[in-house]
Structure 1
């Protein structure tokens, strides 16, 4: 084997070892980059969920401690009226047809 072929063989071997070191094994560079991106996406998801929880806690506190808000919710969402003094009128969106 000529000296040039030995150098080429060593260079190819060294390059193969270098590529395997960078990309080979269980967690190669591309896997680590994918995991980093996934970790960032999950962190953003956690922050969004924490904001949702905070807004829900504020809503719960407002509903349990503010009687005006509770009354407005009861009127708007469940159609409740106050005492005997108020009447609730319901309007149909489709015309009534007699049978």
Structure 2
């Protein structure tokens, strides 16, 4: 028996197995490994986002440097920031203090209630 003839069903199964193996090998070449195609695409997107964030941070640093330079060279700007953000008051001005004391608040509420009932 020099040559065996194979059944058509076996030939089809063998071809399908080789085809599936070839598809798996191609998939492993494209997607397999530590840095597959989808990983590389995700890293590109992350890199673009990080570069955009870096640009915003550089703009913020430039603005803060400009503010620092302005504050260190301009006394009026320094005084304005001290007044607005830290409550600095010049010595010739009158000070008003707001105290959040619960007992004083209760007294103030009772005074308001008394004044509304007498009107």
Q: Give TM class, smaller chain.
A: 0.7 to 0.9
Question: What is the rounded CA distance, in whole Å, between the counterparts of 1:3 and 1:38 in structure 2?
Answer: 48
Q: TM-score, normalised by structure 1?
A: 0.75
Of 1-10 and 55-64, more deviation after overlay is shown by 1-10
Q: Which digits, 9 at most, give the CA deviation of each residue in 1:7-64, with x for residues without a partner? A: 3232222111111111111111121122112212211221121121111111111211
How many residues align? The count is 97
Bigger share in helix: 2
Structure ranking higher on relative contact order (CA contacts 8 Å, 6+ apart): 1
1:48 aligns with 2:56: yes
Q: Is the 8 A contact 1:79 1:88 kept in 2?
A: no
Task: Return the alpha-carbon distance in structure 2 between the equivalents of residues 50 and 79 of structure 1.
Answer: 30
Rate the CA distance shift 1:8–1:89 in 2: closer, same or farther, 3 A. Answer: same
For structure 2, list consecutive stretches of 5 or more residues without a partner in the other structure: 1-5, 108-119
